[in-house]
Amino acid sequence: MASQTITLGGGCFWCTEAVYVRVKGVLDVESGYCNGHIQRPQYEQVCSGTTGHVEVVQLVFDPAVISLAQLLEIFFVIHDPTTLNRQGNDVGTQYRSGIYAQDAAQLAEVTAWLEAARQDSTWRSPVVTEAVLRDNYWPAEDYHQDYFEQHPNQGYCAFVVGPKVEKFQKTFAQFAKD
């Protein structure tokens, strides 16, 4: 089976990227921006909240090794799908929770998975994750790629990203790369 792509917005892309680079079957992870209204947005523009973009990671994965449902399961553990336009101290529409599908068939699969998640009693508050087709995607600047790997002791990385990586490794050890 050929590789597939899914794009996820779960707050700061440094956190999400740092987890998914450690997942078996994930072949590539790229931080970027999507679903905004300008071309080639820059980080400062996206952070202003005026472009409509969301910080995302684009995952290329091998569905013979890890399923889309398993990737989404991880996603719902490493971020809070119940907070509208925020993750922790990161506030704004650019930090919204979203699953951005590549095509209508994938969107149908994501929508069904998300509907089941919304029925799950795990969540104390309603799940607000949006599920739409990916649009207007742009890679983030080079200095954002593999940020945690390059700056593990930087404050945000040590106190925010690191704990999310540890949570993934404890909760989903079976999916961690060797």
- Return the active site residues: 12
Measured in Å, how far apart are the chain's first and last C-alpha atoms? 23
User: Left (φ > 0), alpha (ψ -120 to 50) or beta: where does 25 sit?
Assistant: left
| Under 8 Å between Cβ of 14 and 161 | yes
User: Left (φ > 0), alpha (ψ -120 to 50) or beta: where does 36 sit?
Assistant: beta
d(CA 137, CA 61): 18
